Amino acid sequence: MLQDRTRHVLYLLLAAAIALPFFTGTVIPPTVGPEAKALYKAVEAVPNNKIVILSLEYEAGTLGENLPQTRALMNHLMKSGKRFAIMGFEPIGPVYGQIEADELAAKWHRPYGKYWVNWGYRTAYVQTLKAMAKDVAAAIRTDHRGVPLSKLPVMRGIHSPKDVGLVIDITPSTYYEAWMAFFTGPAKVKMAVAPTAVMVSDIFPYLDSGQMVGMLKGLAGAAQYEALVFGRTSRERGITWMTSVSMTHILIIALIILGNATEIITRRRKAVGGTA
Amino acid sequence: MGAFITTPRHGIQLALFVLGSVLAFALAMAAMHALPTRYRRWITVLFTFVAGLFYLAEFVIPAGVGVPAGSSRATDNFLSKYLDPVGNASAIIFAVAVGMGILNLARVNGAPLLRGRPGWQNSLAFFAGLIAMTVVGLTRWHAMLGATTPAARRAVEAALVGRLYHLLFDGFYSNLGGTVFALLAFYIVSASYRAFRLRSREATLMMVTAFIVMLGNVPVGPTYLTGWIPEGHWFSFAKVEHVSDWIMSVPNMAAQRALIFGIMMGVIAMSLRVWLSLERGHFFGQED
């Protein structure tokens, strides 16, 4: 009964920690890490005659992290007028990408087909990537509505992998390994990844080896990227949501300290009781 | 034969070709079903082996082998030209597998619903979700195909089908999916209080490391905790984000490299077992 009550109190505290920043409207300015900075520079360095591929592999479960990452990157791409393509080896990712891009396209005046394109959901990722490594346009052929890519101005001059300036895999899974093995590796195309926070530790070997040029570390990475695009105190989605997450981290740290203090006190009491 | 299969078709020719392919597939499946288990197994083993062999051979055969000089890309061999059609065939098999999965789900959920077994409400929810999303999704998709201008697309979104789609997709699917995943946060908070205890030196080391990495990755650590240390100061190595970065890019990376190496060795062994059909319980094994 007592344990149940403790659990309920903890859940209430967590709900309050998450909700409070949304009501107070405060934001904690993020400090930009080297991985986000490197990705920002890599996007800036993509020449105008090349396209950036955003591979969106997430579903509803990880929207909290992957959607702000997508939004932050799209904001930068649209702000700087870079061409980009959305695609995914999971069916829902490109749908979310289309919704975000539609909204941002209206804000930045970047019409579909001229600045960006949705290549849609693709099955058989190994075979698709192998085919793309030979000829991107021939492997994809049409956009998500069945319009031939040759009719879209955004695809003008985009044929071989050499015309791809950067691949960014926004993902809660390990599709980035397939991208490296079958496309960016053989075709020598730059690659970056925006994983969920739990996956971050897996990516460091690829950053060190140079196989990846940058990374957005979960929601924190999205907030850092927004800080680079809009400034540290902006109230963009990633920065606002990250303030909430910061509060939960403080709560978790406080609970760990409290739990250990309780344990130490209980042990001492038992020891005193045992010797008495 | 290869050209017959891969030649692009349009209109009635395409419809007849698709119909013929479906019929051929159904006949092949019926014939497989009529065969004794051991023949079925050998046919499956043979197809698995040949499919695996194709990709292995295409990868390891040197460039230029079987290709007239100057007629193709420098990286191609005589198998490379089949990569696209084989890739397309794989995509079709994946799509068929999705269809089979839906059929299987319908079979598993159909019986409890029809017989009123315990949990029939869950099966009802499954069918309601499947039918509603399929009908509304396809109707909207069809309407969107005809909408070539942004104004026309906005009109589709504002129509009943568009609003229904957003209710199902944004209102139900996205929120339900996000909610299920977000429940993890409540378990983590509960676990942090109950299980994360200083019971040994190893546990203490792990906790201190977790503290630093956690604080280094959320804005509150670098901004408030060690934000007062100026960047470039001799003591700036102690900034929480720098200590966190060091932990992630030195000890963590060493461990990750070892893990990746071990996992990949396992993947190679496992792939070999699947390719050579040595895996226990593979292909009708349970029917023996």
Cβ atoms < 10 Å from Cβ of A173:
17
Using a CB-CB cut-off of 8 Å, the residues of chain A touching B188 are 252
Q: Which stretches within chain A are classed as H helix?
A: 2-24, 34-44, 63-79, 93-108, 125-134, 136-140, 175-179, 200-209, 218-230, 237-275
Q: How far is CA A149 from the centre of its chain?
A: 26
Q: Is pLDDT of B219 > 90?
A: no
From chain A, the residues in CB contact with B223 under 8 A are 28-31
pLDDT digits (tens, 9 = 90+) for A79-130: 999 999 999 999 999 999 999 999 999 999 999 999 999 999 998 898 889 8
Choice between B138 and B71, residue whose per-residue pLDDT is larger? B138
* A124 neighbourhood in chain B, CB within 8 Å: 87, 90-91, 93-94
φ and ψ of A115, to 5 deg: -110, -25
For residue B123, give the 3-state DSSP assignment. Answer: helix
Q: Which amino acid is at A155?
A: M
Tell which of B88, B220, B259 to mutate to test the A interface (max A CBs under 10 Å). B220
- Identify the closest residue of chain B to A186 by CA–CA distance: B75
**How many Cβ pairs within 8 Å bridge chains A and B?**
156
Class of the CATH domain delimited by A31-232: alpha beta
Residue-level pLDDT at B1: 62
Contacts of B95 in chain A (CB under 8 A): 123
Looking at residue B203, its pLDDT comes to 86
The torsion region of residue B66 among left (phi > 0), alpha (psi -120 to 50) and beta comes to left
CB contact under 8 A, A14 and B211: no
Is the ipTM of this structure higher than 0.85? no
Among the partner residues B189, B207, B256, nearest to A204 by beta-carbon distance:
B256
Residue B72 has pLDDT above 70, yes or no: no
Q: Is A4 on the interface with B (CB under 8 A)?
A: no
Of all residues in chain A, the one with the smallest CA distance to B74 is A134
Decide if A77 contacts A43 (C-beta within 8 A): yes
Q: Worst-scoring range by mean pLDDT, A22-36, A53-67, B130-144, B183-197?
A: B183-197
How far apart are the CA of B242 and the nearest CA of chain A, in angstroms?
9
Residues 164-223 of A with CB under 8 A from B: 186, 197, 200-202, 204-205, 207-208, 217-218, 220, 223
Two structure tokens written together for A55: 């591979």
- On the question of pLDDT at B283 being above 80, the answer is no
| Mean pLDDT value of segment A247-264 | 88
A residues 10-49 lying closer than 8 A (beta carbon) to B: 10-11, 13-14, 18, 28-31, 33-34
Q: Which of A263-267, B10-14, B221-225 has the lowest mean pLDDT?
A: B221-225
- β-strand partners of B179: none
**Residue B288 banded pLDDT, cuts 50, 70, 90:** very low
Q: What percent of chain B has pLDDT over 70?
A: 94
CA A13 to chain centre: 28
Question: pLDDT tens, B138-152?
Answer: 999 899 888 878 788
Which of B87, B180, B188 is nearest residue A130 as measured by Cβ atoms? B87
Residue A72 has pLDDT above 80, yes or no: yes
Q: How far is B233 from chain A (nearest CA, A)?
A: 17
* Secondary structure percentages of chain B, helix, strand, coil, to 5: 80, 0, 20
pLDDT confidence of residue B59: 85
Asked if B249 lies within 8 A of A208 by C-beta distance, the reply is yes
- Average pLDDT of chain B is 87
Q: Select the residue of A10, A18, A124 nearest B91 (Cβ to Cβ).
A: A124
A83: closest CA of chain B, how far (Å): 19
CA B99 to chain A, closest CA, distance in angstroms equals 13
> Is A158 a residue whose pLDDT tops 90?
yes
Residue with tokens 């993509």: A46
Q: Do B253 and A205 touch (CB under 8 A)?
A: yes
Mean pLDDT along residues B177-183? 88
Chain A partners of B86 at a C-beta cutoff of 8 Å? Answer: 127
Q: What is the mean pLDDT of residues B17-22?
A: 90
Residues of A in contact with B194 (CB under 8 A): 259
- Using pLDDT thresholds of 50, 70 and 90, give the confidence band for residue B164: very high
pLDDT above 90 (res A54): yes
Select the more confidently predicted residue: B157 or B72. Answer: B157
In the prediction, which pLDDT does A56 show?
A: 97
Positions of CATH 3.40.50 in chain A: 31-232
Residue that the structure tokens 């963590």 belong to:
B252
On chain B, the residues whose CB falls within 8 A of the CB of A29 are 219, 223
**pTM (two decimals):** 0.85
Residue B5: pLDDT above 50?
Answer: yes
Smallest CA-to-CA distance from A217 within A96, A65, A57 is with A65
Nearest CA in chain B to A260: B197
Which of B87, B174, B249 lies nearest to residue A63, judging by beta carbons? Answer: B174
Report the alpha-carbon distance of residue A181 to residue A174 in Å, rounded: 12
Compute the average pLDDT of residues B106-115: 92
What residue in A sits closest to B256 (Cα-Cα)? A202
Q: Does the distance separating the beta carbons of B248 and A60 come in below 8 Å?
A: no
Instruction: Report the alpha-carbon distance of residue B110 to residue A238 in Å, rounded.
Output: 43
Q: Which chain B residue's Cα is nearest to A6?
A: B190
Rounded CA separation B281/B288 (Å) = 10
Say what the pLDDT of residue A191 is: 98
Chain B residue at shortest CA distance from A197: B217
Residue A111 φ/ψ, nearest 5 degrees: -65, 150
Vertex A126: Cα angle to A35 and A96 (nearest 5): 60
Taking residues A194-209, what's their average pLDDT? Answer: 94
Q: Are B86 and A200 within 8 A, CB to CB?
A: no
- The distance from CA B167 to its chain's CA centroid, rounded to whole angstroms, is 26
**Each residue of B227-250: pLDDT tens digit?**
888 888 888 888 999 999 999 999
